[in-house]
Amino acid sequence: MEQVKNPINEAIRLLDFVSSDDRLYSLAGEFMETGYTSGFSSEKEQEMIRQLNASLRNTLGSVIREAVEAKSLTISQASQKSLVPEKILNGLLADSVAVTNVPVVLFRKLLHLLDVPLSKAKEAVLYNTHIFRTQLSLSVEAPSLAFKRKSGRDPFDLSEGKSEGINLFENEEAVKLYLNRLEEIWGN
């Protein structure tokens, strides 16, 4: 029966106990000839997949998609029954629209229609907010403070009327207020 050795232990042994180059070459040869198993047993693979699935969080889009499929509805039917515009519902499904862009009463109606528990919806909304925040910080469009040019216009000049509140409805405080309001009206 061939003895299976741990490659990490063998590498440590090679590094720690080498007194000369000749000994290093002989140990390297021994190390390379040793049979190592690199595959996992099927039980280990199943356990790893189970742990991975348990650690993955559901986005709001995936929660809504699963609920729509469980109710055997089409997107247009869910849109009509909940009064959420189909374009917004598709944006929610694609995780490209912040939930705060949907009126809270309509969102509650959608969740009730699809029988999505409030706790699951809140968790998914918070996870989506985290994703939006991460995407914004990694975005090329988001200026870095190190490379941000000083604006030539007066910061107190409101005459231009340009909206700079792009992320107004995607910030954490707005989402928390939205979820608090959703919780308040949940039973109605």
pTM summary value:
0.58
At residue 156, does pLDDT exceed 90?
no
Condensed to tens digits (0 to 9), the pLDDT of residues 33-62 reads: 766 666 677 888 888 777 776 656 688 888
Fold (CATH) for 60-139+167-185? 434 Repressor (Amino-terminal Domain) (1.10.260)
Please report the pLDDT score of residue 49 as a whole number: 79
Question: What are the boundaries of each domain within the chain?
Answer: 7-55, 60-139+167-185
Q: Mean pLDDT score of the chain, rounded to an integer? A: 76
Run of H or E residues at 64: helix 60-70
* pLDDT value at 87 more than 90: yes
Higher pLDDT, 69 or 152: 69
Residue 163 has pLDDT above 70, yes or no: no
- For residues 58-71, average pLDDT: 90
| Residue 163: C-alpha distances to residues 29, 53, 155 (Å) | 68, 41, 13
State the residue for tokens 């741990």: 6
